[in-house]
């Protein structure tokens, strides 16, 4: 049987989550059905160069990309497909793409910027659109939308890197005043994932260091109250009628789910299903779907909750619109436990991308 669709798998990227993206892409590439799909590997270097060719993933991981072809997607729907940037064949068509599967995490991949390019190029793509991606990525905006939607979130405040650079002592005082002098606090870049740049701060000196660390990764820094909480996650799948998986629980090897605890420390545990009362599990699933709809998400997302050990109340922590996608990542594992194995999950995401494209194509953009 010859492949019926050409899928461009996009990975790497100019982000602090570059290596995580490569790991996710390796799993996706190994599980896509080659009888159904022709696969085009597209890697983005840490400096933002797009490259394609045989074995692009391995080449990017090894730093040996000389044999790959520089490529681009044009923001011009009349010249679709993957185009060469090689001097001899500049802008010639290398591959028509039916669907782009972004296996990218963090900035320039998950924040709406790539989605804007794909929208302008008129290509179907897996995952949320521009608005869902950008709001889901920005922790401050996301919390504001959740609070406006009646979904509980932990108290927070936001400040800019310029405030820290101009008067860090004043910034420390404003944070403590906004959050009632509460410690511990979590400091996070407003736009990043995989726990990159996040610090748990038990004192003003910790907060000082945490602000400097987070400011390396973003111009906006979020500071929120810390909880003695269990970490519960729910996977959501769908477009206009999304469905939620069973919840899972993370028991990190570190104090919280740091980058090292996620990807390097084998002592971290994923409990699937999470040991929760049925009513609570159903409440989390309903809230996950409500949050997904509130930001107009599509395709997929992993919704993360904090379950307060003392009060028993839960808070929505964040939504991840392009979650980790290795075979041991929580998003696919929750769907596998809910009856949808990894290869069929990929098929479903591609079908949802095409469905979303058909819906977009109904829209009139220019008055006739």
Catalytic residue among 12, 15, 16, 17: 17
- The active-site residue out of 263, 283, 308, 348 is 263
Q: Give me the DSSP letters along 79-122.
A: S-SEEE--GGGTT-EEE--SEEEEE--STTTSSSHHHHHHHHHT
Q: What secondary structure letter does DSSP report for 202?
A: S
Active site residue 263: yes
CA separation, residue 102 to residues 16, 51, 115, 317 (Å): 16, 14, 9, 24
**CA 16 centroid distance within chain:** 12
- For the chain, the first-to-last Cα distance in angstroms comes to 43
17 is catalytic: yes
User: Quick one: residue 181, left, alpha or beta (phi over 0 = left, psi -120 to 50 = alpha)?
Assistant: left
List 304, 315, 317, 329, catalytic entry: 304
Q: Are 194 and 262 in contact (CB under 8 A)?
A: yes
83, 161, 302, 356: the catalytic one is 302
**Residue 224 known to be catalytic:** no
- What element of type H or E holds 52? strand 50-52
Contact 126, 299 (CB under 8 A): yes
> Could you say which of 194, 235, 245, 329 is catalytic?
194
How far is it, in rounded angstroms, from Cα 322 to Cα 137?
10
Omega of the bond prior to 338 within 30 degrees of 0, cis?
A: no
The span from the CA of 68 to the CA of 142, in Å, is 38
Residue 180 annotated among the catalytic residues of the structure: no
Q: Is 239 noted as a catalytic residue in this protein?
A: no
Active-site residue among 320, 329, 331, 342?
Answer: 320
**CB-facing half-sphere around the CA of 194: CA atoms within 13 A:** 25
Cα–Cα distance between 263 and 330 in angstroms, integer?
A: 12
318 is known as an active-site residue: yes
Active-site annotation holder among 238, 324, 342, 356 = 324
DSSP string, 177-200: HHTTT-SSEEEEESS--TTTT-EE
Q: Which residue in 82, 132, 106, 93 sits closest to 238, CA to CA?
A: 132
User: Annotated catalytic, 133?
Assistant: no
Quick check: is 320 catalytic?
yes
Active-site annotation holder among 98, 111, 224, 318: 318
- Give the whole-angstrom CA distance, residue 259 versus residue 197: 9
**Residues forming the active site:** 17, 194, 263, 302, 304, 318, 320, 324
């Amino acid at each position: 049987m010859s492949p019926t669709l050409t899928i461009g798998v996009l990975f790497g990227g100019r982000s602090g989550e570059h290596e995580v993206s490569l790991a996710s892409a390796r799993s996706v590439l190994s599980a896509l059905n080659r009888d159904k799909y022709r696969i085009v590997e597209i890697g983005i270097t840490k400096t933002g160069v797009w490259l394609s060719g045989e074995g692009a993933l391995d080449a990017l991981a090894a730093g040996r990309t000389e044999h790959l072809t520089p490529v681009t997607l044009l923001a011009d729907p009349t010249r679709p497909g993957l185009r060469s940037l090689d001097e001899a064949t500049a802008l010639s068509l290398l591959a028509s793409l039916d669907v782009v599967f972004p296996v990218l995490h963090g900035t320039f991949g998950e924040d709406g910027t790539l989605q804007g390019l794909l929208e302008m190029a008129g290509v179907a793509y897996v995952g949320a659109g521009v608005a869902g991606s950008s709001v889901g990525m920005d922790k401050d905006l996301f919390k504001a939308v959740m609070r406006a939607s009646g979904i509980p979130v932990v108290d927070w405040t936001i400040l800019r890197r310029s405030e820290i650079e101009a008067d860090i002592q004043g910034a420390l005082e404003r944070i403590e005043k906004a959050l009632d002098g509460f410690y511990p606090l979590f400091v996070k870049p407003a736009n990043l994932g995989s726990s990159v740049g996040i610090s748990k701060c038990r004192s003003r000196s910790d907060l000082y260091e945490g602000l400097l660390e987070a400011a390396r990764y973003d111009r906006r820094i979020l500071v929120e109250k810390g909880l003695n909480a269990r970490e519960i996650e729910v996977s959501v799948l769908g477009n206009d009628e999304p469905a939620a998986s069973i919840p899972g629980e993370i028991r990190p090897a570190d104090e919280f789910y740091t980058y090292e605890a996620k990807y390097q420390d084998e002592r971290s545990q994923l409990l699937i299903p999470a040991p929760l009362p049925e009513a609570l599990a159903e409440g989390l699933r309903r809230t996950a779907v409500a949050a997904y709809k509130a930001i107009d998400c599509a395709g997929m997302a992993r919704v993360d909750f904090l379950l307060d050990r003392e009060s028993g109340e839960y808070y929505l922590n964040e939504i991840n619109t392009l979650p980790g996608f290795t075979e041991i990542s929580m998003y696919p594992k929750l769907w596998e436990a809910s009856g949808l194995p990894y290869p069929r999950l990929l098929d479903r995401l591609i079908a949802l991308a095409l469905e979303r494209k058909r819906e977009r194509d109904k829209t009139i953009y220019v008055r006739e």
